[in-house]
């Protein structure tokens, strides 16, 4: 607000324009902003002022200030300035002038009444409301009508003043079609909300999402008194939004126990479902509001009601670790083995979360640990994948013969496979020791893909020697290890079969694991070329990979330098086409060396 000390004792009056008047007349003509002349107010009338109270300098000061402000803000009138300064006498005087428009907007979208509301000046607001030409519904593009603006920023008494003078409490402003009551509730304006509810707000009004005022009050934690008032004036307690939500749904989502109690007490429909088939009980279970769950169950809510996806409240509670909710639901003869559209039971969700306490209470209440879901996963599959060793131990203790350990899911994975993927070493040891499981190539395949060296070491210690003698096992080790470090863990423990070494070297080179091929060559004393379907040898593949040292090692082990592939290309030609000058030079040197030795021997 602007403060001008010279206006403290102002008293402006209108005087008749005749020679008998005792007042001095000051004629002001309008000038452009860029002209360095006295500021003006209007070119169509004279300003008369009380000479004894208001001096010429006072008027000039006001006009000077107005001239400066109006340059900064387009469409800013003297009335706007007077209201912003809070000068009641000046406002009275200006409103007597014929050319002053009380409803004029500034460039920022404010009328004089909007400004008075912003200043929270009750006397000016009341005076403007009583002015004959005032438009109480003048709508700003920025802040709406004066009543809407007052709802959001002003005191309750200012809002009540506007209503008492006829301001429309049902006019909407935002594109969402929220009325003043909805705005007040949304912005936690408790007194304003009550005033609007008690002064003619239409209870049937809904916004673009079909929310009524009761939806807002329930979601944004309106007081019990306000909720009762809204029900009394006729707000639909079972009104359905575009998403199928009722005020009871909103009350549950907000976690307001009192609001839920009130809506239940006025017989709100507790069985209504939203567009996804969720009742208020589903939402309460999902969010863990166990006290609300208890209220709804006592009121008759159905604990086994399924959503469109066949999900029960117990599924929600188990999935989101709502233990106290599960306790309440289990008191109501709930179906503990209900299955969703994906055939998951509550036990599946609890096991997947690794929640031992939840799994335990479900098992004690009859949960079946042998029900598979659509992926053929048992709860123990999910617990193993989570790495939840305590849950796995609990499930194993309830399985008499451990038959579920042999169950494979749709990905052909055993619970032990999932345990390996979880990287929980203690869990892998527990399962191997408890069930004396055989370590086969499938386990290694999973372990190698996980890349967990510690688990690979555990498997090596548990592996039967017959597995290591299987040539196919070593091909899989190369294929899935993808690194020399992992391959060496196995090869350093047990040497690969001698009969398979050449094939393993060629296979490693073909896959691009030249370091593994180089490592395997140390086990080979004399190299014997193996020829693939195109007539290529390991040396061809090494040249193709541009590995100079591997090419050198193969030649030194006895690889045939004179071999010609099926397309009639020599190794030297192959290297030249591959563009590696160092390998070409190496092949030439070795070829010359062997030719020289041959001549010497002759």
pLDDT one-digit tens code per residue, 420-438? 999 999 999 999 988 888 8
Residues in Cβ contact with 384 at an 8 Å cutoff, skipping those fewer than 6 apart: 392, 415, 416, 418, 419, 422, 427, 431
Task: Pick the closest to residue 186 from 209, 166, 168 (CA basis).
Answer: 209
Asked if residue 520 is part of any domain, the answer here is yes
Asked if residue 569 is part of any domain, the answer here is yes
Asked if residue 577 is part of any domain, the answer here is yes
Instruction: Please tell me the distance from the alpha carbon of residue 294 to that of residue 285, in angstroms, as a whole number.
Output: 10
Give SS3 for 89: helix
Among the residue ranges 39-43, 272-276, 285-289, 478-482, the one predicted with the least confidence is 39-43
Average pLDDT of span 406-411 = 92
pLDDT of residue 19: 38
pLDDT of residue 589: 84
Asked if residue 8 is part of any domain, the answer here is yes
DSSP code for 298? H
Asked if residue 413 is part of any domain, the answer here is no
Q: Which helix (H) or strand (E) holds 27?
A: strand 25-27
pLDDT digits (tens, 9 = 90+) for 264-288: 999 999 999 999 999 999 999 999 9
pLDDT of residue 36: 35
Do the beta carbons of residue 143 and residue 114 sit within 8 Å?
A: yes
Q: What is the tally of structural domains in the chain?
A: 2
* More confident of the two residues 3 and 250: 250
pLDDT beyond 90 at 413 = yes
Average pLDDT of span 84-111 = 90
Tokens 């020697």 -> residue:
465
Residue 56's pLDDT band, with cuts at 50, 70 and 90, is: low
CATH code assigned at 544 = 1.25.40.20
pLDDT beyond 90 at 331 = yes
* More confident of the two residues 535 and 269: 269
Do the beta carbons of residue 415 and residue 435 sit within 8 Å?
A: no
pLDDT of residue 186: 96
Q: From residue 357, how far is each of 197, 264, 381, 430 by CA, in Å?
A: 48, 32, 18, 20
pLDDT beyond 80 at 400 = no
Asked if residue 9 is part of any domain, the answer here is yes
Residue 165's pLDDT band, with cuts at 50, 70 and 90, is: very high
- Structure tokens, 152: 């959001």
Do the beta carbons of residue 48 and residue 13 sit within 8 Å?
A: yes
Residue-averaged pLDDT of the chain:
86
pLDDT beyond 50 at 64 = yes
Residues in Cβ contact with 396 at an 8 Å cutoff, skipping those fewer than 6 apart: 380, 402, 434
pLDDT of residue 63: 64
Instruction: Please tell me the distance from the alpha carbon of residue 223 to that of residue 219, in angstroms, as a whole number.
Output: 11
Residue 200, φ and ψ in degrees, nearest 5? 90, 10
* More confident of the two residues 126 and 524: 126
pLDDT beyond 90 at 334 = yes
Among the residue ranges 7-21, 215-229, 440-454, 499-513, the one predicted with the least confidence is 7-21
Helix intervals (H) in 47-121: 56-72, 78-85, 88-94, 112-118
pLDDT of residue 61: 66
Domain stops at, among 46, 81, 100? 100
Asked if residue 359 is part of any domain, the answer here is no
For 175-191, give the secondary structure using H, E and C. CCCCCHHHHHHHCCCHH
pLDDT of residue 97: 85
Domain stops at, among 57, 76, 100? 100
Instruction: Please tell me the distance from the alpha carbon of residue 546 to that of residue 542, in angstroms, as a whole number.
Output: 6
The helix, strand and coil proportions of the chain, stated in percent and rounded to the nearest 5, come to 55, 0, 45
pLDDT beyond 80 at 47 = no
Give the CA dihedral 355, 361, 367, 372, nearest 10 degrees: 0
- Give the structural domain span for 59: 1-100
Tokens 């304006």 -> residue:
189
pLDDT of residue 77: 87
The percent of residues in the chain predicted with pLDDT above 90, rounded, is: 58
Residue 12's pLDDT band, with cuts at 50, 70 and 90, is: very low
Asked if residue 285 is part of any domain, the answer here is no
Domain stops at, among 100, 129, 158? 100
Instruction: Please tell me the distance from the alpha carbon of residue 7 to that of residue 602, in angstroms, as a whole number.
Output: 127
């Amino acid at each position: 607000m602007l403060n001008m000390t010279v206006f403290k004792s102002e008293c402006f009056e209108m005087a008749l324009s005749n020679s008998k008047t005792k007042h001095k007349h000051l004629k002001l003509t309008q000038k452009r902003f860029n002209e360095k002349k006295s500021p003006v107010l209007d070119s169509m009338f004279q300003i008369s002022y009380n000479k004894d109270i208001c001096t010429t300098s006072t008027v000039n000061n006001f006009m000077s200030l107005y001239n400066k402000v109006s340059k900064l803000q387009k469409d800013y009138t003297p009335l706007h300035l007077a209201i912003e300064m809070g000068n009641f006498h000046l406002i009275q005087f200006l409103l007597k002038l014929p050319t002053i428009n009380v409803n004029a907007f500034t460039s920022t979208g404010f009328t004089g009444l909007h400004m008075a509301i912003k200043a929270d000046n009750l006397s000016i607001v009341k005076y403007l409301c009583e002015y004959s030409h005032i438009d109480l519904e003048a709508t700003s593009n920025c802040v709406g009508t004066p009543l809407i603006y007052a709802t959001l920023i002003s005191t309750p008494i200012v809002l009540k003043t506007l209503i008492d003078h006829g301001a429309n409490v049902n006019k909407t402003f935002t594109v969402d079609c929220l009325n003043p009551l909805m705005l007040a509730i949304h912005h936690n304006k408790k007194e304003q909300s009550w005033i609007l509810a008690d002064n003619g707000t239409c209870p049937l009004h809904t916004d673009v999402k079909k929310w009524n005022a009761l939806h807002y009050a329930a979601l944004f934690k309106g007081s019990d008194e306000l909720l009762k008032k809204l029900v009394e004036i006729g707000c639909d307690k079972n009104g359905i939004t575009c998403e199928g939500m009722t005020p009871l749904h909103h009350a549950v989502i907000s976690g307001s126990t009192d609001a839920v109690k009130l809506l239940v007490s006025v017989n709100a429909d507790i069985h209504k479902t939203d567009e996804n088939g969720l009742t208020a009980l589903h939402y309460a279970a999902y969010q863990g509001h166990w006290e609300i769950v208890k209220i709804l169950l006592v009121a008759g809510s159905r604990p086994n009601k399924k959503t469109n996806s066949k999900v029960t409240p117990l599924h929600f509670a188990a999935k989101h670790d709502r233990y106290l909710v599960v306790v309440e639901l289990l008191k109501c003869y709930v179906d503990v083995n209900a299955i969703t559209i994906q055939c998951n039971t509550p036990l599946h969700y609890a096991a997947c979360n690794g929640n031992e306490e939840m799994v335990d209470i479900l098992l004690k209440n009859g949960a079946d640990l042998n029900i598979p879901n659509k992926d053929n996963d048992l709860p123990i599959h999910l617990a193993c994948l989570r790495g939840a060793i305590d849950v796995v131990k609990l499930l194993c203790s309830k399985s008499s013969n451990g038959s579920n350990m042999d169950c494979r899911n749709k990905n052909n994975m055993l619970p032990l496979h999932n345990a390996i993927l979880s990287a929980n070493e203690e869990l892998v040891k527990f399962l191997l020791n408890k069930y004396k499981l055989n370590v086969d190539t499938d386990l290694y395949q999973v372990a190698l893909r996980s890349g967990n060296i510690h688990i690979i070491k555990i498997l090596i210690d548990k592996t039967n020697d017959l597995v290591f003698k299987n040539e196919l096992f070593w091909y899989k080790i190369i294929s899935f290890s993808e690194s020399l470090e992992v391959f060496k863990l196995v090869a350093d423990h047990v040497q690969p079969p001698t009969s398979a070494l050449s094939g393993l070297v060629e296979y490693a080179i073909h896959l691009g694991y030249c370091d593994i091929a180089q490592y395997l060559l140390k086990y080979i004393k004399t190299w014997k070329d193996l020829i693939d379907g195109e007539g290529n040898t390991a040396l061809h593949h090494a040249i193709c990979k541009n590995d100079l040292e591997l090419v050198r090692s193969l030649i030194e082990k006895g690889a045939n330098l004179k071999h010609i592939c099926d397309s009639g290309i020599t190794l030297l030609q192959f290297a030249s086409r591959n563009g590696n000058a160092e390998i070409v030079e190496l092949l030439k040197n070795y070829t010359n060396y062997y030719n020289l030795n041959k001549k010497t021997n002759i």
